[in-house]
Amino acid sequence: MYDLLVIGAGIAGAVTARKLAEEAGKKVLVIEKRQHIGGNCYDEADEYGILIHNYGPHIFHTGMEEVYSYLSRFTDWYHFGHEVVAKVGEKLIPVPFNLHTLHLVFDEEKAERLERKLVETYGEGSRVPIMKLRESEDADIREIADYVYENIFLKYTMKQWGQTPEEISPEVTGRVPVLISYDNRYFQDKYQGVPKDGFTPMFERMLDHENIEVRTGTDCRELLTFKEDAVYFEGERFDGQVVYTGALDELFDCRFGRLPYRSLDFHFEHYDEEAYQGRSVVNYTVSEDFTRITEFKFLTGQQHTNGTTIVKEYSFAYTGAKGEIPYYAILNDENQALYEKYKALAAQIKNFHLLGRLAEYKYYNIDAMTKKAMELAEQLK
């Protein structure tokens, strides 16, 4: 009845399903355990009519033309250059740390001198990982690095990951750059913004195809079983392709132990005010227990007179308890070795493909995930 089973209706699953249904005429069943499609990109209007991102703020950004044009088939965009500030003491300073930030935190004469040195050493327009700056021989550069490390990086990272920066993989620390430019944007990609009328309608359009059936509220473990190297769907051997985008340890009942993740607790608050912080995202890098506050109307460009909704994000260690969601894989050698054991189990099943931030146990942005899904779909055609 089906040629392809796709587990998970996030961006990985939705793109794969659409491409194979449309371009290869495959009959696709998408199985999603949540009550809705969209995965972590899901958004909806709250009780005050304000569009919120239920699983944290999502901003689409990419330099990949093929990804932008593919997703643009299913949505128009509200384009904006996403900017983030950090609250340090009473100041709001642009992050990533850039030359504007430099002039805000050091006195004018010193900032001028440091700017010249940064430009001479690393080149105008470059991005230098904070860990690299800290290793510099130059005392001035180390002073900047120490400022960034203490006020932007250290406590924020510890809150986010529950670890010291030294314990965290360079893949993660490497993502925290200092920008040798006056660009206040958080991302430097050519395209950035959010779907004009929300992520969820974009997913609805993507999955709206005669060859696609979607079952929400269904955990694939209720329907799929594995015997030797074969997949069984509702008790029958299934020889079509299966694309799995869920957590790999959970699929195999965590038989080698749980893969560690960070989870997030989202506290939504509504205020009967025009604005709460007047900007989309403020990171709390030195104070508070939460990592950041997002004010949705400034992220999505909505015009609202009836108040404003914000969300505070608290990070904690995922335990697998009911209702918790694994968000960020914790990348280190030990966890990778554990993941490889599960991957080896999955590899025995030739028609079973792992795709996505959970199944591959790594972080993906929406654009990278879309690209990877497009590539897998090409292979499976």
Ligand X SMILES: Cc1cc2nc3c(=O)[nH]c(=O)nc-3n(C[C@H](O)[C@H](O)[C@H](O)COP(=O)(O)OP(=O)(O)OC[C@H]3O[C@@H](n4cnc5c(N)ncnc54)[C@H](O)[C@@H]3O)c2cc1C
| Chain positions contacting ligand X, by CB under 6 A | 7-13, 31-34, 39-41, 55-60, 219-221, 245-247, 264, 327, 356-358, 364-367, 369
Q: How far is the CB of 9 from ligand X (least distance, A)?
A: 6
Which single residue is written with the structure tokens 């932007």? 152
Could you tell me the two tokens for 342?
């599960």
User: Residue 34 or residue 87: which is nearer to ligand X going by CB?
Assistant: 34
User: Residue 264 or residue 330: which is nearer to ligand X going by CB?
Assistant: 264
User: Residue 87 or residue 357: which is nearer to ligand X going by CB?
Assistant: 357
Q: How far is the CB of 300 from ligand X (least distance, A)?
A: 12
Cα dihedral sign, 270-275-276-277: positive
User: Residue 182 or residue 266: which is nearer to ligand X going by CB?
Assistant: 266
Of 192, 208, 177, which is closest to residue 17 (Cα–Cα)?
Answer: 208
Euclidean distance between CA atoms 226 and 349, whole angstroms: 9
Q: How far is the CB of 208 from ligand X (least distance, A)?
A: 17
User: Residue 32 or residue 183: which is nearer to ligand X going by CB?
Assistant: 32
Residue 334, judged by CB atoms within 10 A of its CB (0-12, 13-18, 19+), counts as: exposed
User: Residue 206 or residue 220: which is nearer to ligand X going by CB?
Assistant: 220
Q: How far is the CB of 100 from ligand X (least distance, A)?
A: 22
CA–CA–CA angle 329, 335, 341 (5° rounding): 110
Q: How far is the CB of 39 from ligand X (least distance, A)?
A: 2
Q: Which residues contact 31 (CB under 8 A, 6 or more apart)?
A: 5, 6, 7, 8, 215, 218, 219, 220, 223
Euclidean distance between CA atoms 240 and 219, whole angstroms: 19
Q: How far is the CB of 64 from ligand X (least distance, A)?
A: 12
